[in-house]
Amino acid sequence: MTGWLDLTGKGALVVGAGGLGGASALSLARQGMATVVVDRDTAALDRVATAAADAGHALVTLVADISTPEACRAVVAESVARVGAPRAFVHAVGRNDRRPVLELGDADWESIVTLNLSTAWWLGQEVGRRMVAEGCGRMVFVSSVSAHLAHAHHAPYAATKGGINQMMRVMAREWASHGVTVNAVGPGYVETDLTRAYLDRDGHREELEALVPARRLGDPAEVADAVTFLLSDRARFITGQCLYVDGGRTLV
Ligand SMILES: NC(=O)c1ccc[n+]([C@@H]2O[C@H](COP(=O)([O-])OP(=O)(O)OC[C@H]3O[C@@H](n4cnc5c(N)ncnc54)[C@H](O)[C@@H]3O)[C@@H](O)[C@H]2O)c1
């Protein structure tokens, strides 16, 4: 499998070491990529580093809060210093606030837009600048089925995920002739820290499983597999796409 994907020795930057970012970083390290993983949560970074070490792989962890454009640019510069120009970039940070539109204030909107969408812009632009200069690169943004469906109590989250998909499509178009591909994955319900508390309450797990044609939630490794494929040369002619990894959730 390692040879088929042909990622060995190439530099990767994964921002977000939670359930999906962590699984993606681990998958890339397993493919032999020189992987930098960034998060503000040292415990999340330690979990990924330990899982990688247990599997016989090393990755570089970087503690940073990416809430500002300056912080995002510093993260990219540090990653380049550690593993060279990124051949692969993954944006895997995001937050949801499951309340109705009429209960959310300006600060709630602002904080979700900043974390989910603005950081994708700041990081994508800075990484893209380097990939275009190098004449090659692959990016994957972690979007969501919420980019496509209109779940109640998801307004700011859905807006950011729809925004990610459109931003990704324009980046893909502008950079295609420079050897850079830009795609997204759209996970359905996957059990991670982002969703665990909600899934554990009031029969939500069963309710959500019933909405998925595959009749189960996803596993972070299943999202990481799609991310890894899109970052590989096997996906070299795929750009501007959101690959839904959702057990059929967006079909119904
Ligand atoms: N889990 C799901 O079911 C699901 C479904 C669809 C999409 N997604 C998307 O996948 C992405 C990753 O989600 P996840 O499930 O891995 O969530 P998660 O909560 O497990 O991980 C998110 C990580 O982001 C980090 N983070 C948050 N704010 C930060 C900041 N300012 N600076 C640095 N790090 C910060 C957190 O510390 C955490 O480790 C998100 O964009 C989310 O919207 C998740």
- Tens of pLDDT, residues 25-59: 999 999 999 999 999 999 999 999 999 999 999 99
Q: Is residue 87 part of a domain?
A: yes
Expressed as residue numbers, the domain containing 155 is 2-192+221-239
CA of 98 to the centre of ligand 1 (A): 15
Q: Is position 160 within any domain?
A: yes
State yes or no: pLDDT of 167 exceeds 70: yes
Which pLDDT score, from 0 to 100, does residue 51 have? 97
Q: Does residue 201 fall inside a structural domain?
A: no
Give mean pLDDT, residues 166-193. Answer: 97
Domain contains 11? yes
Q: Whose CA is nearest to atom 27 of ligand 1?
A: 93
Domains in the chain: how many in total?
A: 1
Q: For residue 28, tell me if it sits in a domain.
A: yes
Name residue, tokens 């570089």: 60
| Ligand 1 atom nearest 194 alpha carbon | 19
Mean pLDDT for the stretch of residues 210-223: 96
CA dihedral 62, 67, 70, 71 (to 10 degrees): -10
pTM of the model: 0.98
Does ligand 1 come within 6 angstroms of the Cβ of 180? no
Quickly state the pLDDT bin for 194 (edges 50, 70, 90): confident
Residue 211 counted as domain residue:
no
DSSP string for 175-236: HGGGTEEEEEEEE-SB-SHHHHHHHTSTTHHHHHHHHSTTSS-B-HHHHHHHHHHHHSGGGT
Residue 248 within a domain = no
Kindly report the CATH number assigned to the domain that includes residue 30. Answer: 3.40.50.720
Binding site membership of 205 for ligand 1 (Cβ less than 6 Å): no
For residue 210, tell me if it sits in a domain. Answer: no
pLDDT average, residue stretch 69-96 = 97
Is 198 annotated as catalytic?
no
Report d(CA 129, CA 134) in Å as an integer: 9
User: Ligand 1 mean position to 194 CA, how many Å?
Assistant: 6
> What's the CA-to-centroid distance between 95 and ligand 1, angstroms?
6
160 vs 252: CA distance, rounded Å: 22
The pLDDT value given to residue 218: 96
